[in-house]
């Protein structure tokens, strides 16, 4: 809950979120955004960045050689198994 109401503008808008346990279809294109590091153990950046990723089936993500079972029903697994583009930094 916010301490004061949000004033919506052209730059501040409401975002639509899926239901808590909505299952995104495998291979759906999504976008991730953030200010984190652009490489492992790299410095954080000040400019908001975005990346286009694909939804990866939870069963694939939970394989021992990928995330070894840590992806729960409330999580979304997305990126590329080959690496390079993700939101994991």
Residue 71 sits in a domain whose CATH number is 2.40.10.10
Name the pTM for this structure. 0.70
Q: How many domains does the chain have?
A: 1
Q: Is the pLDDT of residue 89 over 60?
A: no
Question: How far is it, in rounded angstroms, from Cα 71 to Cα 89?
Answer: 17
In a domain, 21, yes or no: no
Asked if residue 48 belongs to a domain, the reply is yes
pLDDT confidence of residue 8: 96
How many CA atoms lie less than 13 Å away from 86 in the CB half-sphere?
15
User: What strand order describes the sheet that includes 49-55?
Assistant: 29-34, 49-55, 78-79
Residues 31 and 52 sit within 8 Å (Cβ to Cβ): yes
Check pLDDT > 60 for residue 38. Answer: yes
Longest Cα–Cα distance of the chain, Å, equals 46
The SS3 assignment for 58 reads: helix
Beta bridge partners of residue 33, listed in sequence order: 50
| Least confident among 3-7, 39-43, 62-66 | 39-43
Within a domain: 75: yes
> Has residue 66 been placed in a domain?
yes
Range of the domain at 67: 29-79
Residue 43 has pLDDT above 90, yes or no: no
């Amino acid at each position: 809950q916010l301490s004061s109401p949000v004033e919506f503008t052209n730059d501040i808008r409401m975002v639509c979120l899926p239901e808590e346990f909505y299952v995104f279809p495998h291979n759906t294109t999504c976008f991730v955004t953030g200010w984190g590091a652009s490489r492992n153990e790299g410095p954080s950046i000040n400019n908001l960045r975005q990346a286009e990723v694909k939804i990866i089936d939870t069963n694939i993500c939970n394989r021992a050689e990928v995330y070894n079972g840590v992806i729960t029903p409330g999580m979304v697994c997305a990126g590329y198994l080959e690496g390079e583009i993700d939101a994991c930094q």
